[in-house]
A and B are shown apart, each in its own frame.
Chain A
């Protein structure tokens, strides 16, 4: 049996199909994953993401510590409340985890890390914190909801504590506001507008019920996966991991190379790979033929193995199958190029595209 979020009984009462995920028992869907997906693209859905872990990093050395710990640079956070997506690397340039870090002003930051990796992440952070004056505090007292979709902010804001309702609606994308232990961020993992909310665990059932009463649909991990794939967002453990770093998983944009003297963990290994002609490319695929792309299928160029799908599936917004794939060393393909994917022994035609595939309710790639 896995860990349970404070909403476990709510999920059961809603008839959710529960599955193990990262050590937790989580809802896969509440009836139809496809309907949940479309609701988030066109209205508003809510995900219980209380399995994810907020970790507060504070103290006189917090900023310097995070500039050492993360491949992206928290010095880029010019305004309190601003968020930054980053990989946390090991010395070999592999990814320990990917995360969002929020600057809360002064020497106060909040990181949100993945469920399955949280325990290892915290141990890693503590091991690296050495001479930095920081406190690293996992916030197991907080629950977390993602309310996503074009109608999400309006419906959720009305249910927030009065002190937050106005400032939440005024947030620009990738900014957060907070009051007491309520934290509201205009971030997400779906390619739609919305909020990610952190709040005291003992208040989350009431908020969950109020959101549902306001017409926000409960959505499970299944829809979360198809939404993030359409949005071209990576999934840790699938698209990148401890052995495969940001330069080979489409995340080079999250590595802050400047200033050159910033010595972040993994920098030396990344710089070496960056200069190497052997670096593997990461691409998007749209299936032209019939079938469904899945992780671990083999990509073929001129009939020869040329790479592997890391994430694949049916894209409800497009009515087609899409994938993220890593090419073998030395293989280069550009958007528009044709290739094939081996599905049950058959080579099925596919086209290289540039993610994202779909965001804000619409296709972002040509479908011909």
Chain B
């Protein structure tokens, strides 16, 4: 059974979103997603300062199996990406919700967070996947 922390928001495309409380959010992929992808061997992250729309592809995670797009959960600006993934992309496998975070962004409208799935709604998405 995959780990779905109760304090995060989620998307149907298996990103998790953490509200940092300072006007920024952190985005990664869920435990369920990393398990389905298998060993991650490469992560391509966006440039800082790039403006992205909701559900716009903005990063790529490549596993031994395939390449998968990572989507901006809501509109905003990329402010930081996880430099540690350059040498250790497998942090996404070993620590999907902590050390394996992918990017931080400043949402255009923080209230958009409310449109995302909560943990119990995401649990249903995962159940449908199985």
- The residues of A with any CB-CB pair to B shorter than 8 Å are 17, 28-29, 32-34, 222, 226, 290-292, 294, 313-314, 321, 344
Chain A residues near B93: list those with CB within 8 A.
Answer: 32
Give bound CA distance, A70 to B66, whole Å: 35
B89's nearest neighbour on chain A, judged by CB, is A314
CB-based contact A33/B42 at 8 Å: no
Chain A residues near B39: list those with CB within 8 A.
Answer: 32-34
B86's nearest neighbour on chain A, judged by CB, is A290
Give bound CA distance, A291 to B62, whole Å: 8
- The residues in B between 15 and 65 inclusive whose CB is less than 8 angstroms from any CB of A are 38-39, 41-42, 44, 60, 62, 64-65
B67 within 8 A of A: yes
CB-based contact B42/A291 at 8 Å: yes
CB-based contact A290/B42 at 8 Å: yes
CB-based contact A292/B62 at 8 Å: yes
CB-based contact A34/B44 at 8 Å: no
CB-based contact B41/A222 at 8 Å: no
Further 7 A-B residue pairs, CB within 8 A, beyond A33-B64, A344-B67: A32-B39, A291-B62, A292-B42, A292-B62, A292-B67, A294-B66, A314-B64
Interface size class of B (residues with CB under 8 A): 10 to 19
- For residue B92, give the distance in angstroms from its CB to the closest CB of chain A: 13
CB-based contact B62/A226 at 8 Å: no
- For residue B25, give the distance in angstroms from its CB to the closest CB of chain A: 25
Q: For chain A, what secondary structure do more than half of its interface residues adopt (helix, strand, loop), or is it mixed?
A: mixed
CB-based contact A29/B38 at 8 Å: yes
Interchain Cβ contacts under 8 Å between A and B, 23 examples = A32-B38, A32-B93, A33-B38, A33-B39, A33-B64, A33-B65, A34-B39, A222-B64, A226-B64, A290-B42, A291-B44, A292-B41, A292-B42, A292-B62, A292-B67, A294-B66, A294-B67, A313-B64, A314-B41, A314-B62, A321-B42, A344-B44, A344-B67
CB-based contact B64/A34 at 8 Å: yes
Give bound CA distance, A344 to B59, whole Å: 11
Chain A residues near B38: list those with CB within 8 A.
Answer: 17, 28-29, 32-33, 222
Give bound CA distance, A44 to B75, whole Å: 49
Give bound CA distance, A29 to B42, whole Å: 19
- For residue A328, give the distance in angstroms from its CB to the closest CB of chain B: 24
- For residue A36, give the distance in angstroms from its CB to the closest CB of chain B: 10
Chain B residues near A33: list those with CB within 8 A.
Answer: 38-39, 64-65
Q: Which of B38, B64, B66 has the most CB of A within 10 A?
A: B64
